[in-house]
Structures are given as structure tokens and as C-alpha cells.
Amino acid sequence: MKESVGNPLHLKSLNHISLVCRSVEESMNFYQNVLGFVPIRRPGSFDFNGAWLFGHGIGIHLLQSENPENMPKKKEINPKDNHISFQCESMGAVEKKLKEMEIEHVRAMVEEGGIYVEQMFFHDPDGFMIEICNCDNLPVIPLAGDMVRSCSRVNLQVLQRQQIQQVIQQ
């Protein structure tokens, strides 16, 4: 596979993820009341049921399943399954709130070079996995080039500028 350098598609950020739901209303309730997303306007030309939400710098587009009864049921919480991850300010506060809301979750811990990252995994109403973590503790270390301090947006922008400079200098 040819090695790619820089940003060949000139990407700026993650815009949204789309999730097919058994019930758009139930999923809207979850994403608003558990994760703090807010509903936003979606194009009126769409001729199918759905909702758009925005929060934490990304959008979530909920799409009503055409066959909700045929959607797979929730599975065991498996941290190695597909998921979207959010950084948080306090893992203790997250766990307390999940317990108050009676949301089943699984805790995990990652250690790398003496740095520990806490993780909590749980499902949305349709079984899509959500991770909450304090991943900002873990440095982002490119396989080539200089280390970036953490997963924060500012530090990732520094990495992108460094990659652009490397391409320009070649």
C-alpha cells in the first residue's frame, strides 16, 4: 500500500455520524438527555423520518429504520466493538450519572508507559456502543515524526501543521 503523507483529501474535522434507529424519538431522548446533544434543523426535502442533533463539535444524524422489528437486539457490552468515544472532565461524575440513570456500563483501564486512561462503555437504545474516557491523558504519538501532547483538538491541529510543513519541504 502506498504511504500517504499529510492530508490528501484536505479533511478538516469529523462532521457527523449517521445511526439507523428502531425509534428516532427514543434515540433523540437518549442523545439529548444522556449525552447532551441538541436537535438542529434538517433539510425539509428529506422524505423519510429522522432527526439531526449537534453537540461536542459533531453531528449525529438519526435515521428511522424501515424495518425496526428486524434490527438486531442489544448485545453484551464489548469494548472491542464499533463505537464512538467522547472525552469527559470527570470519570467519577460520568459513572455516578450512569448509575443514577440505570444505564448498564462496563469500566475498562488502558495503561501505556505509566499513563492510565479510564474508559466506560454503554449502549444507546439501539445497541450502538458509546465510550466515555479521559483519553486526553494519553499522548498522541505518530508512527513517524514528532510527538503531540494529547488528543485535544489544539494538539491535533499542531500535528496537522507539522505534516503540512513536511510535505512543503519535500
Instruction: Decide: helix, strand or coil at residue 72.
Output: coil
Cell numbers for 102: 440505570
Q: H or E element: which one contains 121?
A: strand 115-123
Q: Which residues contact 83 (CB under 8 A, 6 or more apart)?
A: 121, 128, 129, 130, 131
Instruction: Say whether 131 is catalytic.
Output: yes
d(CA 52, CA 16): 9
Cell numbers for 99: 448509575
- Closest to 138 in 3D by CA, of 157, 106, 160, 110: 110
User: 38-40 and 83-87: which strand pairing?
Assistant: unpaired
Which one of 95, 112, 118, 131 is the catalytic residue? 131
Give the catalytic positions in this structure.
131
